[in-house]
């Protein structure tokens, strides 16, 4: 029996899913939370709190320790030796800075050192900027003119210079810490860093995640020499090569074999970003399905034919791991903002939140709760309220309505009508929240039986790349929609259209 492992390292934790390729079913799910499992490390939400000037960094060694814990937990329910292929999904844009000899660390004797002890001496930047970082506005402004302006950068790389993207992050580091920059020999994305650990060798970056760097020529799937030159000196030498998402990087690292009981024949497949992985895990890697993922960030994405870029410069085009491209809209204030509203209203859990939502009248007001500075639209933290004033616990409904309307408004450029919406991510399990998305998008909402779409997509990529299994066969059983489809209430359409117009005007 061949089993494959999908590993998703997201903002707040690591999820592992083991899939049996013969029955095409999930046989094990394991999770480690950076805050919950490592309370003494001071990252309650997975990143270092209190960054100044928009800086949001995380500790790459916490990721490494969490990876080990996740693998130990996995071995409590599944024999790791039965896993024949593994692929990684990683939070996009985050980057890890290492010296040129870090591969020697990867080959260290696993019986003598922990994985993080082996990596630590090779880090040239102790912390990793992640997708929530907003400290690079100056770098975006420097990169843009050298490449012919924002729209030229978007047509070359798929996105205008974007503060959370890796290129501007690299530019800031090289500019402010030239000595550490000079010592840096390798820059990895989260997905390629974790894949390197699993394979015990320097892994490539796939064209799906690579597109989130403002460094890749999206049409050709190669590093753009002009973007590299505009970003930082000597950058070409410091980046891994680019690869398609179906490439095998190599067999499992000695580490995985000796410490975690994997088979030496287990194949490690190239990693990808969490959104491209989720596209696969939702069965949406061919054009036609629109996915909304409600996680730490709320995202809307869809596979597209050809490449389309957002004229407003807020949305993105990435590589689709199964070929072609995908569009993506990312809103930074997702689950942490919902959580803040829930706490503010004194609602003890999500059932109480759903009850409060159902007790309020729909489509009367919308409140966009921005706990942190927002990226879509670009706006300082605070609340944007339109429609009738919101009183008391009605805020629960108005806040989710605000989030859904904001995503609807900022995804119009994709011009793919959502015949139906596939909802995923933690909050998607809440029926009251799913109903709001059905009503705002005026489309039936389905959820999949398996909710960890990024880890699932990684496992499916491992099965396709490792065993040549037909994607359609995996999709038929793994991406089956939950029978409970939520239908839109058509009568609410005019009121939501009016609120969307008011929200748009409030942003102008
Ligand atoms: C996408 C983005 C986020 C992260 C979250 O551009 O920044 O969705 O991938 O993990």
379, 427, 431, 432: which is closest to 406 by C-alpha?
A: 379
The pLDDT confidence band at residue 450, using thresholds 50, 70 and 90, is: confident
Q: What is the DSSP string of 189-212?
A: EHHHHHHHHHHTS-PPEEHHHHGG
Q: Which fold has domain 282-449+480-508?
A: Nucleotidyltransferase; domain 5 (3.30.420)
Q: What percent of the chain is helix, strand and coil (3-state, nearest 5)?
A: 40, 20, 35
Q: For residues 503 and 366, is the Cβ–Cβ distance under 8 A?
A: yes
Verify whether ligand 1 is closer than 6 Å to residue 327 (CB atom). Answer: no
Query: How far, in Å, is the centroid of ligand 1 from the Cα of 91?
Result: 6
Single out the residue of 200, 227, 189, 202 nearest to residue 93, CA to CA: 189
CATH 3.30.420.40 domain span(s) along the chain: 3-270, 282-449+480-508
The token duo for 430 is: 């809440």
pLDDT in tens, 24-78: 899 999 999 999 999 999 999 999 999 999 999 999 999 999 999 999 999 999 9
What is the atom index within ligand 1 of the atom nearest the CA of 299? 8
- Contacts of residue 400, defined as CB under 8 A and 6 or more positions apart, other chains included, come to 338, 357, 432, 433, 436
Q: Tally Cβ neighbours within 10 Å of residue 109.
A: 10
Residue 40 CB burial class (10 angstroms; 0-12, 13-18, ≥19): exposed
- Read off the pLDDT of each residue in 147-175 and give the average, rounded to a whole number: 97
Q: Which residue has the tokens 């605070």?
A: 382
Rounded distance between C-alpha atoms, residue 363 and residue 320, angstroms: 35
| Phi-psi label, residue 341: left if phi above 0, alpha if psi -120 to 50, beta otherwise | alpha
Q: What is the dihedral of CA 489, 491, 494, 495, to 10 degrees?
A: -80
For residue 489, what pLDDT band results from cuts at 50, 70 and 90? very high
pLDDT at 451: 80
Asked whether the beta carbons of 331 and 299 are under 8 A apart, the reply is yes
Question: Is the CB of 91 inside a 6 Å radius of any atom of ligand 1?
Answer: yes
Residue 401 CB–ligand 1 contact under 6 Å: no
Q: What average pLDDT is seen over the chain? A: 95
Residue 125 has pLDDT above 70, yes or no: yes
The whole-number pLDDT of residue 128 equals 98
Region 173-180: what's the mean pLDDT? 98
Q: Whose CA is nearest to atom 6 of ligand 1?
A: 330
Three-state secondary structure call for residue 375:
strand
Residue with CA nearest ligand 1 atom 7? 131
Q: How confident is the model at residue 124 (pLDDT cuts 50, 70, 90)?
A: very high
Calculate mean pLDDT across residues 488-506. Answer: 98
- Report whether 331 contacts 312 (CB < 8 A): no
Kindly tell me the sign of the dihedral angle through the C-alpha atoms of 108, 110, 111, 115.
positive
Residue 274 scores a pLDDT above 80: yes
DSSP 134: -
Does 43 sit in the ligand 1 pocket, CB within 6 Å?
Answer: no
Residue bearing tokens 């793919």: 416
Structure tokens at 370: 């921005």
What is the rounded CA–CA span in Å between residue 101 and residue 98?
8
CATH class of 3-270: alpha beta
pLDDT at 474 over 70: yes
Residue 305 has pLDDT above 90, yes or no: no
> Rounded distance, CA 465 to CA 30, Å?
23
In this predicted structure, the answer to whether residue 505 has a pLDDT above a threshold of 60 is yes
Query: What confidence score (pLDDT) does residue 415 get?
Result: 76
Is the minimum distance from the CB of 93 to ligand 1 under 6 angstroms?
yes
pLDDT digits (tens, 9 = 90+) for 344-387: 999 999 999 999 999 999 999 999 999 999 999 999 999 999 99
Q: Percent of the chain, pLDDT > 90?
A: 89
What pLDDT digit, counting tens, does each position of 395-433 carry? 999 999 999 999 999 999 997 777 889 999 889 999 999
Residue 96 and residue 60 in contact, taking contact as beta carbons nearer than 8 Å: yes
| CA–CA distances in Å: residue 345 to residues 110, 280, 353, 391 | 49, 37, 9, 11
Q: What is the pLDDT of residue 245?
A: 86
Most informative mutation of 11, 46, 56, 131 for ligand 1 (most atoms within 8 A of CB): 131
- Spacing, Cα 119 to ligand 1 middle (Å): 25
What whole-number percentage of the chain has pLDDT above 70?
Answer: 100
Q: Is residue 133 within 6 Å of ligand 1 at its C-beta?
A: no
Decide whether any atom of ligand 1 lies within 6 Å of the 92 Cβ: yes
Whether residue 244 contacts residue 221, with contact meaning beta carbons closer than 8 Å, is answered with yes
Given a cut of 70, whether residue 1 has pLDDT beyond it is: no
Reduce the DSSP state of residue 362 to 3 states and report it: coil
**In the prediction, which pLDDT does 202 show?**
96
* CB within 8 Å of 267: residues ≥ 6 apart: 84, 85, 86, 248, 250, 251, 252, 462, 465, 466
Residue with tokens 């705002």: 440
Q: How far is the CA of 119 from the CAs of 39, 68, 101, 385, in angstroms?
A: 22, 13, 10, 47
**Spatial contact of 281 and 479, defined as CB atoms under 8 Å apart:** yes
Residue with tokens 């359409």: 493
CA-nearest of 50, 72, 62 to 9 is 62
The verdict on whether omega for the bond into residue 377 sits within 30 degrees of 0, i.e. cis, is yes
Give the integer Cα–Cα distance in Å for 265 and 480.
31
Instruction: Look at residue 148 and tell me whether its pLDDT is greater than 80.
Output: yes
């Amino acid at each position: 029996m061949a089993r494959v492992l999908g590993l998703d390292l997201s903002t707040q934790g690591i999820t592992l899913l083991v899939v049996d390729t013969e029955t095409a079913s999930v046989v094990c799910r394991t999770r480690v939370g950076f805050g919950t499992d490592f309370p003494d490390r001071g990252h309650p939400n997975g990143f270092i709190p209190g960054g100044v000037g928009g800086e949001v960094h995380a500790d790459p060694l916490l990721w490494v320790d969490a990876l080990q814990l996740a693998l130990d937990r996995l071995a409590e329910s599944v024999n790791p030796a039965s896993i024949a292929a593994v692929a990684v999904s990683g939070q996009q844009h985050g980057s890890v800075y290492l010296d040129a000899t870090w591969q020697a660390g990867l080959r260290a004797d696993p019986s003598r050192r922990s994985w993080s002890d082996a990596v630590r001496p090779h880090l040239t930047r102790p912390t990793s900027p992640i997708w929530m970082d907003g400290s690079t506005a100056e770098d975006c402004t420097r990169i843009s003119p050298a490449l012919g302006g924002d729209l030229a950068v978007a047509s070359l790389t798929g996105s205008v210079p974007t503060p959370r993207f890796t290129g501007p992050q690299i530019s800031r580091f090289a500019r402010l810490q030239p000595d550490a920059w000079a010592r840096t020999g390798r820059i990895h994305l989260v997905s390629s860093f974790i894949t390197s650990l699993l394979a015990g060798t320097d892994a490539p970056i796939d064209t799906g995640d690579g597109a989130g760097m403002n460094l890749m020529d999206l049409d050709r799937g190669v590093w753009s020499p002009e973007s590299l030159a505009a970003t930082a000196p000597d950058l070409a030498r410091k980046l891994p090569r680019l690869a398609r998402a179906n490439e095998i990087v190599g067999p499992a690292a000695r580490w995985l074999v000796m410490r975690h009981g994997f088979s030496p024949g287990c194949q490690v497949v190239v990693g990808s970003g969490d959104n491209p992985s989720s596209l696969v895990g939702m069965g949406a890697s061919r054009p036609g399905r629109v996915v909304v993922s409600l996680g730490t960030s709320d995202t809307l994405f869809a596979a597209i034919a050809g490449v389309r870029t957002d004229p407003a410069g807020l949305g993105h085009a990435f590589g689709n791991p199964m070929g072609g491209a995908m569009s993506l809209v990312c809103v930074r204030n997702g689950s942490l903002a919902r959580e803040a509203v829930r706490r503010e209203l004194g609602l003890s859990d999500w059932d109480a939140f759903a009850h409060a939502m159902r007790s309020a009248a729909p489509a009367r007001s919308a409140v966009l709760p921005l706990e942190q500075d927002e990226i879509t639209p670009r706006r300082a933290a605070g609340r944007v309220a339109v429609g009738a004033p919101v009183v008391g616990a009605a805020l629960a409904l108005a806040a989710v309505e605000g989030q859904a309307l904001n995503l609807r408004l900022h995804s119009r450029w994709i011009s793919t009508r959502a015949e139906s919406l596939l909802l995923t991510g933690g909050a998607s399990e809440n029926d009251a929240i799913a109903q709001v998305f059905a009503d705002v998008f005026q489309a039936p909402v389905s959820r999949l039986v398996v909710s960890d779409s990024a880890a699932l997509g990684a496992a499916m990529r491992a099965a396709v790349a490792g065993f040549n299994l037909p994607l359609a066969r995996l999709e038929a059983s793994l991406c089956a929609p939950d029978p409970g489809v939520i239908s839109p209430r058509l009568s609410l359409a005019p009121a939501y259209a009016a609120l969307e117009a008011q929200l748009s005007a409030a942003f102008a």
